[in-house]
Structure 1
Amino acid sequence: MKKSLVAVLMAFTLLSSANASEKTGCVLAQSGDVEVSWIGYKTPKKVGVGGVFDKVAYTPVTKEGENFRSILVGSSVVIDSSSVNSKHADRDAKLAKFFFGMMKDKNINAKIVDIKADPRVKDAPRTGVVDVEIEMNGVKKVVPMTYSFANETFEAKGNIDILDFQANSALKGINEACFDLHEGKTWSEAGIGFKMKILATLCKTK
């Protein structure tokens, strides 16, 4: 009888320990808004002009999880392209009208479809590649973006070609509207990026 009681108590202790371990394991939690940035290029010297979008509706697949894959893959954003902001009112008005206004839909949709981590390096930011499906001008493309994570900030950057989204008329429109300022050259290549806060508790963040 005593042996049976001891066995039950040991089993209960082990179960309690396992539950406690699960509750104190790795937790990654998304915090705050997502910032979506861009950079375009003008003039034959390929001068960069950057900015953000002020209206970004972010839908996380979940707010907390044990790794980047669990909290990011499946998350999506809807970007109102008319909210383009380069901190230059005249430029923003032209971009909204002659570039984004020439596309089939003012919204740009994006969804994270995969993420791959690089091998960890001690005392260095976590890095890897995040694949993002972008739908713009009625065309969907999966774009690989390199990411880094340090100081509770997850940041990803990549490049697209506007022509891959059949946005020839949009490129022509902004080039004509800014012909003199761009010295007759507006590049079809553009940089894209996003940034978010992720709080990490007892995590190796990989």
Structure 2
Amino acid sequence: MSEYKALTAYQDESVVEEYERRRFSGLVGRYVWRREQRAVGRNVASVGSAETVLDCPSGFGRWLPVIERLDPIVVLENDVSLEMLEHGRSSYNDRWPGVRTNAEHLPYQDASFDLVFCHAFTKHLPHETQVAVLKEFSRVSRRHVICSFTMRAGLGGAVLRLRERLRGSRSNAVTREWLERAAAEAGLRLVRDRPCTSHIGAERSVLFERVLVAA
């Protein structure tokens, strides 16, 4: 199992309590949230329908209102942080079961879900862990995966490269070519990606579809 900061950071009760206020309050936070809603919502709408959905990592369950537009029969909220799952019970998620899991090793059989949904997670992961997680998402999906990635593309990618030079360190961002190769290795096809933060942000919501392999 890989080690990275996000694996343990959100198991701190004080961090969990402050998470929503820090990320979504203020003019900038509300602006980014509205853009995320539009971009991710369009990708979700493109799926059409999904009876079974895995939301991983789910955090508080902020994306449930968007996922529920697909009229699912089952949504499983999964997160490595029990604290996040418990907070979700008192805020966004009063309907769906929550399961404590690690995205690198999901406890589900192959093709268990019509859709695997993931947002704002892979940017925390080293490249090799991004590959491992994408393979797990593909394995348990029958049809689609929606997952955000920080990408070196467009204006957002240019601004990201400038920030990296100023900081003197590289982020976990990926190129589109890298992502297409990783998707192919996982048995997925990249359908489309949409910028989903600010106009100069590098995070993009990516819609993948499962590649059917002939018997």
TM-score (norm 1): 0.22
User: Relative to total residues, which structure has the larger helix share, 1 or 2?
Assistant: 2
Superposition TM-score, scaled by structure 2 size: 0.21
| Larger Cα-atom Rg | 1
